[in-house]
Amino acid sequence: MGGDRLTEVLDATYDCLTRYGVRRTTVDDIAGAMGVSRSAVYQYVRGKDDAVRRLAERLHTRALERARRAASADAPPATRVRGVLEAKLGLVLELAGDSPHTAELLDEKARLFGDICHGFTAGLRTLLIGVFTGAGLVDACLGDANPAERDAAGPARPAADTRRAGAGEPDPRWPGGAGAAGSVGAVGPAEAADICIALVLGLESVPGGEQLLRPAVDALLAGLLGEARAAP
């Protein structure tokens, strides 16, 4: 029951934020939205700041869970990458659409919850690195990296794998074959993840950004992975 009441407190906090914003919302506002006394709110949170922080954590945790499901899905890399980025863009559109005030919950520089926002982005980056590593994207510099760096990035792709032995043809096991290896050798999984995050950050400020996400990801992955076309 305590968990249910905490959920009610956070729901009421969100309702207040849509009207007043983070700075102007008070515990009295939250209590009023719930129809309870001020002291009842303090049974579940330490105060307004605690309620706002818990709310930000709940929202970002849910979005990160969606991103994790997308990253681990049994689907082609393009679909998985797009799913991770949709989780971030979806959170932004949800908060910005409800109120200019709730968009404050996305501010990585905010005193109350900036670390939560930053951790969310870092979690997305880790998921994307995993997808790109699994897709065969390897940093050309890993040959000179120390063992720990090589282990973190995953096994390097042998040069012989880029072509069928004696045939001079691209190996179909790797997206784009030798052509892809030549075009993305300088871009490793971490850098590819950073590019994807930069892409979605740009789409967040563009009207209709959600409609542009798929073609933008398709075009990006065509360059990064050498894919002729995105997954359905």
**Percentage of the chain lying above the pLDDT 70 cut:** 75
pLDDT of 95-117, one tens digit each? Answer: 998 899 999 999 999 999 999 99
Kindly state the average pLDDT of the residues 201-220. 93
Which of 36, 54, 35 has its CA nearest to residue 45? 54
Kindly state the average pLDDT of the residues 133-142. 73
pTM score, two decimals?
Answer: 0.78
Please state, as a whole number, how many other Cβ atoms lie within 10 Å of the Cβ of residue 224.
25
Which of 200, 83, 183 has its CA nearest to residue 130? 83
The span from the CA of 133 to the CA of 130, in Å, is: 5
Q: At what angle do helices 114-134 and 48-71 cross, to 10 degrees?
A: 10
Which of 105, 107, 85 has its CA nearest to residue 95? 105
pLDDT of 22-44, one tens digit each? Answer: 999 999 999 999 999 999 999 99
The span from the CA of 52 to the CA of 161, in Å, is: 52
The span from the CA of 196 to the CA of 190, in Å, is: 10
| Side chain identity at residue 85, one-letter code | L
Q: Which CATH architecture has domain 52-137+187-224?
A: Orthogonal Bundle (1.10)
Residue 178 has pLDDT above 80, yes or no: no
CB neighbours of 141 closer than 8 A, spacing ≥ 6? 188
- Collapsing DSSP to helix, strand or coil, 170 comes out as strand
Cα 71 → chain centroid = 10
| Cβ–Cβ under 8 Å, residues 71 and 118 | no
| Cβ–Cβ under 8 Å, residues 213 and 167 | no
Residue 3 has pLDDT above 80, yes or no: no
Kindly state the average pLDDT of the residues 207-229. 84
Kindly state the average pLDDT of the residues 1-26. 91
CB neighbours of 217 closer than 8 A, spacing ≥ 6? 78, 81, 82, 85, 196, 199, 230
Phi, psi dihedral angles at 48 (to 5 degrees): -60, -45
| Cβ–Cβ under 8 Å, residues 26 and 68 | no
